[in-house]
Amino acid sequence: MRFNHLFRVLISISLLIFCQVTRAEPMLNGIGVHQELGQEVFIGALYSESLSNDADTLMNNAQPMRMELKIAAPEGLTTRRFSRMWIEGMAVNSRADALTAQAENMVKFDGLFKGRFVKDDFISFTNNPGKGVDIAVNGVLLGNIKDNAFFSMLLSTWIGKIPLSSDYRDSLLKVGDVDASLRSRFTAISPTAARTAEVKTWTGAQVAIQAAEASSSKSSTAAKVAAAAVIAKNELPKLDIPPIEKPALDIPAPTATKAEKVTPEVAAVAVAPAKPATTTAAKVEEEEEEGPALTAQSLLARQFYVSDAIKKIRSKTKYPPRALDREQAGNVRVSVVIDREGNILNSNILESSKFDLLNKEAIEAVKRSAPFPVLPEEISGARFEFTVPIRWTLPE
């Protein structure tokens, strides 16, 4: 009897270990195309150990997950613009205390990307419960964020209550029901070997190795010191972040009735639109790419400034009576460029709805909100840009 009991215990332990070792690879939950100005920017795919069409379930479940993005824009994408999409997206979907707690991680995240993304680059964010978030480009591991909560904040940018793009969000929540042609196209995108080798230099280690090999007169000990110095240079120092108090945004689900026309859902994320180099937005993108790297203080200043801008625009946004009467609903995303005094320099639609009334109201709401607050000293540059996704939803 005692032997049988011990045998059953050993079998149970063995099965547990086997299940952990053979844990299923995350499955494809959905694929979507993110567009700006009618042009594709990147194609993204979300993988999860358990499939779901509920965003909260995915963001709050401590399970292996992965998000993969493949650059589709022919001109590529600046890495600064890319990382700030996520950073500002976190701002509108996270509590102020969570933002402050993750500030250093966001600065580290921003600093991992060098140069510029080119067409067919492949970016991945992998959530490993208990081990943090691995961040890689073209299969090259750039770094690890130790806190798993950081993955949920990244994910909230795209599937949170206030996503950058509602259409993209819906595409990621398909519970595996993905268009076969889009899946095939996504799978076929891959970077060249030369590009992958170039990305390896982003880590700094490859640069150190090349320098050591080129200098045959130096001893192996000196080469190791040189490599360590280059790697250390890329590591961000710990920052002492003073506590910053900021109320969390309270944005209820956007609905409207004919008796009471309520303000639609408004969200904002800092991202420069893909436009010709002669435009104001392109100048902003160029300034940001050449500007100083983000610090925890400047990052939080940006996030809190955008949060205030969201609330102001939301208070000025209306549901056009004729659009409501005609049961017109949809999403519009507007790019806003302001000067340091908060005056609007430029505003245009990045993503339009099929209804002119909603498109016009989106632009008018931004204009009614001007001027915005003066930019704080922590935000550098002569201009500042953010985008405002606005959603009008009819009553159920």
- Taking only the tens place, the pLDDT of each residue in 1-28 is 555 555 554 554 554 444 444 456 889 9
> Which tens digits make up the pLDDT trace of 95-108?
889 999 999 999 99
Of residues 240 and 183, which shows the higher confidence score?
Answer: 183
pLDDT at site 195: 96
CATH number at 94 reads 3.50.70.10
Same domain flag for 178 and 81: yes
pLDDT at site 235: 39
Structural domain contains residue 179:
yes
Residue 299's closest CA among 90, 78, 151? Answer: 90
Q: Which domain holds residue 80?
A: 24-199
- pTM score, two decimals? 0.71
pLDDT at site 56: 92
Q: Which two tokens stand for residue 12?
A: 């149970």
Same domain flag for 114 and 214: no
Task: Using pLDDT thresholds of 50, 70 and 90, give the confidence band for residue 117.
Answer: very high
Q: Report the range of poorest mean pLDDT among 256-260, 333-337, 362-366.
A: 256-260
pLDDT at site 25: 80
Task: Using pLDDT thresholds of 50, 70 and 90, give the confidence band for residue 288.
Answer: low
Which of 169, 199, 229 lies at the terminal end of a domain, its last residue?
199
185, HSE (Cβ side, Cα atoms, 13 Å)? 15
Same domain flag for 135 and 209: no
In angstroms, rounded to a whole number, what is the distance separating the alpha carbons of residues 161 and 164? 10
pLDDT at site 2: 56
Say if residues 310 and 339 touch (Cβ distance below 8 Å): no
In angstroms, rounded to a whole number, what is the distance separating the alpha carbons of residues 352 and 165? 11
Question: Can you tell me the mean pLDDT for 164-181?
Answer: 91
| Total count of domains within the chain | 3
Q: Is the pLDDT of residue 229 over 90?
A: no
